[in-house]
């Protein structure tokens, strides 16, 4: 009997130790890794291959506890009407904006490079998601980014999106082009109030080079427009990250 007990003990010890050996097999091959939003590619796994994704100033965040700042000013955009150029890059539907449109921040030009869609929203406002968020990505000569986020709520059909919402590129590397001219200014809400904070790209490599401006007032899109985008972009929103003491300021 004693021998049997020892054998059983030995078996149990081996079983308990086994998982720690198995972990070695789970080391990620970053050369072969593709980031995404589900399963073995989800945002928890980004940390294995992109060190910045584990930083202290990551985005998106929950926007809560913000305070007005009298030093802030209305966003000064000088956007030109441009032809429609959409691409599905496998992570989102992106509108490549022809050069020549700028957001001026403290006298510095940030050129609008592209805007793209997340379903549902990446930022939350006091814990609440919106069904869709657009990010207008602007870059200055030094490579710093200023990203304007606009929330969509379900309601009336969105006239700006209507220019291309029936032609969304459905699969990775699909394109849609049209000579119809559109102006990204028509994507912005009529009220200029915003929240602002320092953060990061919400996708790998998660670089902490972004000044965020999240518009306070949502715009509307029809349930069909939002559903058609979601059918392509799926749940492409990164989990909300810790604010870690960062100040969130308001322009009203
Ligand atoms: Zn984005």
Does the structure show a pLDDT above 60 at 241? Answer: yes
Cα 182 to ligand 1 centre (Å): 20
CA angle 13, 15, 19 (to 5 degrees): 115
Q: Where are the alpha helices (DSSP H) in 137-199?
A: 159-162
Q: Which of 78, 91, 118, 230 is catalytic?
A: 91
Inter-CA distances, 77 with 68, 90, 109, Å: 21, 29, 10
CA of 129 to the centre of ligand 1 (A): 15
Q: What is the DSSP letter of 128?
A: B
Cα of 181 vs centre of ligand 1, distance in Å, is 23
What domains, with CATH codes, occur in the chain?
56-251 (3.10.200.10)
Ligand 1: centre distance to CA 102 (Å)? 18
How far apart are alpha carbons 204 and 106 in whole angstroms?
Answer: 28
Torsions phi, psi for 14 (to 5 deg): -60, -40
Tell me if 112 sits within 8 A of 140, measured CB to CB. no
230 catalytic residue (yes or no): no
Q: How does pLDDT run across 183-219, given as a tens digit for each residue?
A: 999 999 999 999 999 999 999 999 999 999 999 999 9
pTM: 0.89
Per-residue pLDDT tens over the stretch 136-186: 999 999 999 999 999 999 999 999 999 999 999 999 999 999 999 999 999
């Amino acid at each position: 009997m004693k021998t049997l007990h020892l054998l059983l003990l030995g078996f149990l010890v081996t079983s308990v130790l086994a998982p720690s050996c198995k972990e070695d097999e789970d080391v990620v091959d970053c050369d072969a890794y593709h980031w995404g939003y589900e399963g073995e590619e989800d945002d928890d796994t980004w940390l294995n291959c992109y060190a910045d994704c584990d930083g202290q100033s990551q985005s998106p965040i929950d926007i809560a506890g913000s305070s007005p700042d009298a030093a802030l000013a209305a966003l000064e955009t000088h956007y030109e009407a441009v032809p429609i150029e959409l691409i599905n890059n496998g992570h989102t539907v992106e509108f490549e904006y022809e050069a020549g449109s700028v957001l001026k921040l403290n006298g510095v030009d940030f050129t609008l490079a592209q805007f793209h869609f997340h379903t549902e929203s990446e930022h939350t406002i006091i814990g609440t998601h919106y069904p869709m968020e657009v990010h207008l990505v602007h870059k200055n000569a030094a490579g710093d980014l200023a990203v304007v986020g606009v929330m969509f709520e379900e309601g009336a059909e969105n006239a700006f999106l209507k220019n291309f919402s029936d032609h969304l590129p459905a699969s990775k590397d699909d394109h849609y082009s049209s000579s119809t001219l559109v102006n990204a200014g028509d994507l912005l809400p009529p009220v200029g109030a915003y929240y602002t904070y320092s953060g990061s790209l919400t996708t790998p490599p998660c670089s902490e080079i972004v000044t965020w401006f999240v518009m306070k007032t949502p715009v509307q899109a029809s349930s069909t427009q939002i559903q058609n985008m979601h059918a392509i972009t799926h749940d492409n929103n990164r989990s909300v990250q810790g604010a870690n003491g960062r100040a969130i300021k308001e322009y009203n």
